[in-house]
Chains A and B, each alone.
Chain A
Amino acid sequence: SYVLTQPPSVSVAPGQPATLTCEADNIGLESVHWYQRKPGQAPVLLLYDDTARPSGIPERFSGSNSGNTATLTISGVEAGDDADYFCQVWETDSDHPVFGGGTKLTVL
C-alpha cells in the first residue's frame, strides 16, 4: 500500500517559517490533504487538494505538491501552531485513505 513519510519532529522559532514535508513515490500525482491536531482537541482540516484552504484557515498556511514531496508551509509560526500535523491521500487502488505518521511541530 501507499506509504507517506513525514519527519517525526520540526522545531521553529516564533515568527519564522516552518516547512513540513510528506514524501511518497510520485505523490505529485495525488491530491494531498493536511490536518492539524492539538492535544485534547479534534483534528482540523488545514488544506485540501494540495493548496486549498477551508473557510477560517489563515493564509499563513499554504501547500505545494510536486514530484515525490508535498509540503505544508506556515509563514510566520505562532505559539498556537504548536501541534501535530498529518498528511493524507486517497489511495485509488484500495479506495481507502492513507495517512502519514505525523510531524510534531514545536514552537521554540
Chain B
Amino acid sequence: EVKLVESGGGLVKPGGSLRLSCTTSGFTFHNAWMSWVRQAPGRGLEWVGRIKTGTVDYAAPVKGRFSISRDGSENTLYLQINNVKSEDTALYFCATSGLEYFDYWGPGTLVTVAS
C-alpha cells in the first residue's frame, strides 16, 4: 500500500523559513517522480514543483524561494521554503507524479504565515 505523510507545517513569520517533509512507503521511492501541491484557504489546488530522477522544476510564483530535495535512504521528500510570504499560507501536499497526473497524495501539512 502506497502511503505518503507530510509533516513540518506550522506558524512562521514573514521572511522566515521552514522545511516540510513527506515520508513515503509502499513503492520504490529513490527514482520516483514526486511533486508538491498546495491549496490556499478558499482556493483551488496549485502545483508547486516536481523532482524527477535528476532534475527539479518549480512553478513561477515559488521559483528561487522553494527548494525540493529527497533522501532516498530515508524514503523522504523535502520542501524547503525560504523568505516566506503571506501568500504561502496553504495546506501543502506531496504526491507521486506520473507523466501527466498525480497518482497518490498525502493528507497535507498546514503552513500559516503570520506575524
A61 near B: Cβ within 8 Å?
A: no
Known A99-B44, A100-B44; judge A44-B105 contact (CB<8 A): yes
- Interface flags for A72-108 (1: CB within 8 Å of B; 0: not) read 0000000000000010111000011111111000000
- A26 to B103 Cα, complex, angstroms: 25
- A97 to B75 Cα, complex, angstroms: 24
Interface of chain B, helix or strand or loop or mixed?
A: strand
- Interface flags for B83-104 (1: CB within 8 Å of A; 0: not) read 0000000000101001111111
Residues of B within 8 A of A95 (CB): 57
- A55 to B104 Cα, complex, angstroms: 12
**Shortest beta-carbon distance from A36 to chain B in Å:** 11
- A48 to B102 Cα, complex, angstroms: 9
Residues of A within 8 A of B102 (CB): 33, 35, 43, 45, 88, 97
Residue of B with least CB distance to A98: B47
Residues of B within 8 A of A100 (CB): 44
- A57 to B102 Cα, complex, angstroms: 15
B32 near A: Cβ within 8 Å?
A: no
Flag if B103 contacts A54 (CB, 8 Å).
yes
B106 near A: Cβ within 8 Å?
A: yes
B107 near A: Cβ within 8 Å?
A: yes
**Shortest beta-carbon distance from A10 to chain B in Å:** 15
**Shortest beta-carbon distance from B61 to chain A in Å:** 11
B4 near A: Cβ within 8 Å?
A: yes
Residues of B within 8 A of A54 (CB): 103
Which B residues between 59 and 79 are near A, CB-CB below 8 angstroms?
59
The 3 closest A-B pairs by CB, nearest first: A90-B100, A101-B44, A33-B101
Q: What residues make up the interface of B, taking CB atoms closer than 8 Å to A?
A: 4, 35, 37, 43-47, 57, 59, 93, 95, 98-108
